[in-house]
Amino acid sequence: MPDRRSTDLGKVRCNLKGRVVAGSWQTCVLPYTAGFAGIDDTGSLKVVTRYATDAGTPQFDDPAAPHFTTAVASNGARLQLRYDVKDNVRPWGRTIHLKVLQGFLRKGDTITLTIGDRSGGPGGMSRRARIQRGGPGGMSRRARIQRGGSPGWRMQTFCENTFELRVLIDRYATYVYKQVPTSPTFRIVAGDPVKLVAVAPSLVPPGKKFVIRWKLEDAWGNPVGRPRRMTHAGFAEAGCYTVPVRDEKTGLHAKTNPIVVRDGDEFGRFWADMHGQSEETIGTNSIDDYFRFARDVAFLDACTHQGNDFQITDAFWRNIQQTTREFYQPGKFVTFPGWEWSGNTGLGGDRNVLFQEEGGPIHRSSRALVGEREAKDPCCEDVEELFGRLRKLKSGVMLVPHVGGRYADLQRHDEQLEPVVEVHSAWGTFEWILDDAFQRGYRIGVVANSDGHKGRPGASYPGASTFGSYGGLTCILAERLDRDAVWEAYQSRRVYATTGARILLDVATADGAPMGSVLKIDRDTVLEFYVSVHGTAPIERVDVCNALHVLKSFRTFDEGDVENRVKVLWQGAEVRGRGRQVEWDGCLRVHGNQIAGFQPINFHNPEHVCRQSRTDELQWQSITTGGGAGVIVTLGRRGTGRLEVQTKQTSFTASVTELGIDGVAYELGGVGKRIAAYRLPAAGGSCSLSFRYQPDWGDLHSGDNPILIRVVQEDGHLAWSSPVYLVR
């Protein structure tokens, strides 16, 4: 029996308790009291948080800057602080590491860690002078004359029932850590509402009542209060409509997504996010919370849970399947059981694995974070082994290659198992993965999901983390809202992707073949496409593409309609995998004109703002991780002046007079890294566009021609149809 004294690891307290507002500025004081053995000379402690958190990154150098962090030992021991985003076992990776550099702690001695130390001024000098900065050589630093106190520590920007500050102790200076038994926890809650979001069915018959669901959101996209619903009497006439919704208490208002009213559709339009995780792996809140949010707060029709396989025990795999079974309600909410095969890119890369029914196996890429006893199914150590095992199953199984931290290597592909590819998620926009598929002659549908880690499937804002995009959605063209019909739609590639907006996109050939179809053609074939788009914002253009080569662009305006608005758009990534973030901080100056107004595009992080500093200048902080961001500038006078744009990536000037609807663009390497400037018509343009298109025989090569439709809205949202494959 172990000595009771040897198990005394000490205790830790926290001044933050109860409810803490997401994104608020706080001072977090964590006093640790040493246990029986104390902490030996060069021993240490860690304060760790989940990888998913986007709370401010602690820093130890500038007392006046955000997230300034200090520590003091009650007995005067000399301490060293450093921070590492991955210095502990996943998912508890984000680590403040505090080392007892000189001296030691006895039982009852304390170390007080203050994250977001606001004290400032001379009173904090002697304490801060005892702290060293980690890094090469362990050089001491002197406390500097302060310019004023730090604003504090900016809290995590998304809600969490139990935000935990986990403390681990290395008492014996062996670098072997044990967790202090009781860790401080508190609840992260939404702030004040700033936005109303209203969701209606995308397709309803004439004269039929339907339900509109709506919610309030705070500045970081967290739902405020309970979602609400209202019944609409319906529309007697066919057409496309939106419904205004207003919250009387706050005065916030919005319009619903477009509602197409018509009869005779073979397929309904259902919205899904099939990719995200909960706290049992690397996400936030429980798996039950995850599915409740998807159904009741994001107003999804279909959802799956995709935890990293190397963190899923057999017990949790049973829990996942029990949960999907309980949440499945035919006609209301469709779930599928699944997991993410999270193999290294060199072994095949990330694939989501979905089963049509419960009862399937879990063949992990590794047992990196689970023991053999708690994970008994055999591993598949590369994707070919995974393909081989899954092909033998009698029940339905589907794989979805995607880009996350790792990315799927599409040199390795199984057409039987992989009917679709994910083009967009909260990690960014990745048209290059579609290009990989098309160049290799694969027939794939196009989907988008969130890959969310913040507990918000279907409404996945990036927050203040390295996620750079709002999470995507997939629209499913299915006969019914049940597992069999939704599964059949995916297998038939009758799906399309958006960057999170409920854009309605109809694509069909002259003989009624929907997106995803394969048609053999010759010179006598009547080639005509019918395309209809109803957007959630004015439509900038709709591209008809063969693979990703644009055959023709359609607009609701032409060159003669351009007015006094100019759009500057930057986009792309540095690399395909991790470390893809591109910094675009910069400014825009107008010479010979003035800025009458501006509209930021995809500035999802409220800390990264676009602001007008003078009548002729804008400044911004912005990142992209594969997708796009930018600004629409309204000039004081039409067609005059010169733009000067400066960013961390490049600078250029352009005459407004010479810019047209195609404008100028600069390719900057990386993965689709570019910046462009072009002119737009007056604000308030059309949100709908319908057209017929006949491909030119000369634009079609032998073999497969994947004819894909891409929608670009003014507000930065995009949509991609699954292709119709014309086989010449």
Say which CATH number the domain at 403 has.
Answer: 3.20.20.140
Burial of 227 (0-12, 13-18, 19+ CB in 10 A): middle
Write out the DSSP string of 137-199: GG---PPPPPSS----EEPPSS-EEEEE-EEEEETTSSS--EE-SS--EEEEE-----EEEEE
Distance CA 240, CA 257 (A): 10
Q: Looking at the structure, do residues 457 and 516 belong to the same domain, yes or no?
A: no
Distance CA 431, CA 305 (A): 24
**β-strands 420-425, 445-448 pairing:** parallel
Residue 697 is classified by DSSP as G
- Using the 3D structure, point to which of 246, 261, 276 is the last residue of a domain: 261
Contacts of residue 2, defined as CB under 8 A and 6 or more positions apart, other chains included, come to none
Instruction: Convert 130-160 to b/e letters by CB count within 10 Å (16 or more is b).
Output: bbbebeeeeeeeebeebeebbbbbbbbbbbb
Q: Looking at the structure, do residues 281 and 310 belong to the same domain, yes or no?
A: yes
- End-to-end C-alpha distance for the chain, whole angstroms: 77
pLDDT at residue 657, rounded to an integer: 92
Say which CATH number the domain at 709 has.
Answer: 2.60.40.10
pLDDT at residue 138, rounded to an integer: 34
Q: What is the pTM of this model?
A: 0.93
Check if the beta carbon of residue 716 is closer than 8 Å to that of residue 434: no
Distance CA 653, CA 432 (A): 29
Cis peptide before 723 (omega within 30 of 0): no
Q: Looking at the structure, do residues 561 and 666 belong to the same domain, yes or no?
A: yes
Walk along the chain (728 residues) in steps of 10 and give the mean pLDDT of each run. Answer: 77 97 97 96 96 95 96 97 94 96 96 94 38 36 50 97 97 95 96 98 97 98 97 97 98 98 96 97 96 98 97 97 98 98 96 97 96 93 97 93 94 96 96 97 98 96 86 98 98 98 96 95 90 98 97 96 96 93 96 97 92 96 95 94 97 95 96 97 97 95 96 98 97
Q: Looking at the structure, do residues 520 and 643 belong to the same domain, yes or no?
A: no
What's the number of domains the chain is made of?
5
Contacts of residue 521, defined as CB under 8 A and 6 or more positions apart, other chains included, come to 527, 700, 726, 727, 728
Distance CA 10, CA 13 (A): 11
Residue 547 backbone class (left: φ over 0; alpha: ψ -120 to 50; beta: rest): left
Distance CA 114, CA 60 (A): 11
Which amino acid appears at position 479 of this protein? E
Check if the beta carbon of residue 638 is closer than 8 Å to that of residue 594: no
Which amino acid appears at position 8 of this protein? D
Q: Looking at the structure, do residues 110 and 185 belong to the same domain, yes or no?
A: yes
State the CB neighbour count (10 A cutoff) for residue 233: 9
Q: Looking at the structure, do residues 723 and 654 belong to the same domain, yes or no?
A: no
Distance CA 158, CA 465 (A): 11
Distance CA 113, CA 69 (A): 7
Distance CA 58, CA 82 (A): 9
Look up tokens 């074939």; give the residue: 525
Q: Looking at the structure, do residues 354 and 453 belong to the same domain, yes or no?
A: yes
Say which CATH number the domain at 169 has.
Answer: 2.60.40.680
Which amino acid appears at position 640 of this protein? T
Check if the beta carbon of residue 66 is closer than 8 Å to that of residue 152: yes
Distance CA 686, CA 472 (A): 23
φ, ψ of residue 472 to 5 degrees: the values are: -90, 170
- Cα 394 to chain centroid, rounded: 34
Q: Looking at the structure, do residues 47 and 77 belong to the same domain, yes or no?
A: yes
φ, ψ of residue 471 to 5 degrees: the values are: -65, 150
pLDDT at residue 405, rounded to an integer: 83
φ, ψ of residue 692 to 5 degrees: the values are: -110, 145
Instruction: Convert 525-546 to b/e letters by CB count within 10 Å (16 or more is b).
Output: eebebebbbbbbebbbbbbbbb
Q: Looking at the structure, do residues 159 and 275 belong to the same domain, yes or no?
A: no
Residue 572 backbone class (left: φ over 0; alpha: ψ -120 to 50; beta: rest): left
- Using the 3D structure, point to which of 189, 217, 242 is the last residue of a domain: 189
- Using the 3D structure, point to which of 211, 238, 261 is the last residue of a domain: 261
Tokens matching residue 26: 């706080």
Residue 112: domain span? 4-189
Instruction: Convert 628-650 to b/e letters by CB count within 10 Å (16 or more is b).
Output: bbbbbbbbeeeeebebebebebb
Which amino acid appears at position 589 of this protein? R
Question: ∠480-484-487 over CA atoms, to 5°?
Answer: 100
Distance CA 424, CA 697 (A): 31
Length of the chain measured in residues: 728
pLDDT at residue 135, rounded to an integer: 38
Question: ∠688-473-219 over CA atoms, to 5°?
Answer: 90
Q: Looking at the structure, do residues 347 and 370 belong to the same domain, yes or no?
A: yes
Q: Looking at the structure, do residues 47 and 165 belong to the same domain, yes or no?
A: yes
pLDDT at residue 7, rounded to an integer: 87
Tokens matching residue 330: 């035919």
Q: Looking at the structure, do residues 293 and 394 belong to the same domain, yes or no?
A: yes
Strands annotated E in 537-670: 539-546, 549-554, 562-573, 582-583, 586-591, 595-601, 610-614, 617-620, 623-624, 628-635, 642-647, 651-655, 664-667
Instruction: Convert 57-67 to b/e letters by CB count within 10 Å (16 or more is b).
Output: ebbbeebeebb
Q: Give the CA dihedral 422, 428, 432, 434, nearest 10 degrees.
A: 20
In the chain, helix, strand, coil percent, each to 5?
A: 10, 40, 50
Check if the beta carbon of residue 336 is closer than 8 Å to that of residue 400: no
pLDDT at residue 1, rounded to an integer: 54
Distance CA 523, CA 406 (A): 44
